[in-house]
Structure 1
Amino acid sequence: MSDCLPRRLSPVTLTGTHVQLVPLSPAHHDGLVEATRDGSLWELWFTSVPDPDGMAAEIARRLRLADVGTMLPFTVVSLPDRRIVGMTTFMNIDIAGPRVEIGSTWYARAVQRTALNTEAKLLLLGHAFDHLDCLAVELRTHVLNQRSRRAIERIGARLDGILRRHTRAQDGTVRDTCVYSITAPDWPAVRSHLRSLLA
């Protein structure tokens, strides 16, 4: 498995009815800046969303991590209008497992809590379990980000625990991180659940 996994982690486009996840590119810069302005997302202290002036640096950072094999970044495109509405990634990639985290995700306010997010998670989880043969997929969030925690729990992930004083937030405060996961045996039920939400 480990011999063929790096090939499978090469950039891929995942397409559904409501959303398309395309490999991140510097050409997406202007669309991503416009998306982040919908809701001034960088002002939320408990998230790490790039501000318009920092978008080019964030794109470059994610692409550098992709080059060394620790991240597979996507631009989130709303269908059918093909409007750029956010970013998401496979990150903290553990080839030996294999195991990945879905993270560094943000969406324009207009598409938050819509079918787009549900379908994006279905596409990412399907790729992780059905194509990469992952043992588990992690999702993490700030302990105080109740909206994110509810969204993660809604898709069927289970809380593994809380990493106390895990990392420092942009404003200098220390973050406690909730770690959730979906395991390979969980996946069939989670897949059916996500499909039912979309239906």
Structure 2
Amino acid sequence: MKKLCALCIAQTLLYATSIARTPNEKTDRYLITQMKQKQIPGLQIAVIKGTCVVFSASKGIADVAFNIPVSDSTIFSINSIAKIFAGVALMQLVEEGKVRLNDPIGRHVDSLPQSWQSITLRQLMEHVSGLPDVEDDRTGGPVGGRGEDSAWKLVQRLPLLAKPGETFNYMATNYLLIQKVIEFSDR
């Protein structure tokens, strides 16, 4: 009888544990599959319901070059997601009447090259400014390889890639200037 009772308790605990872990295991398997299919080296995820974290995971590699795993304390760059925040902030300035989309950038940012002065905020947002990029396509880092300040100085000496308003080029320079407009608008 004791063996049967112990077996029942063990089976109940095993069943309860499997029920509790099943959704997380399914999510785990899904994440691993997606990481393989989409060649995602590492990620962090948190699912929050109300005020409770119902699932969280850190998977894969944070730094492929040095084989550093993702941990709960890994900080990832938000990259282009920052453009969304900058765009929203700029549109809030438009709503407040502090800037207009057809304003030339030279009205809001000091010390820009003459060829940049008449480029509008709208052209920056639409990536049709014709500006050269502060990011190096080959490395993903700042152009010139000497840091952001150096890249900013270098890119201002480069010629426009196209006449403003004519050619779409996805460039970080556009949103860097939008960020400067946002900064200067608070002065």
**One fold, TM greater than 0.5?**
no
Larger radius of gyration between Structure 1 and Structure 2: 2
Relative contact order (C-alpha < 8 Å, sep 6+): which is higher?
Answer: 1
- Smaller-chain TM-score range? under 0.3
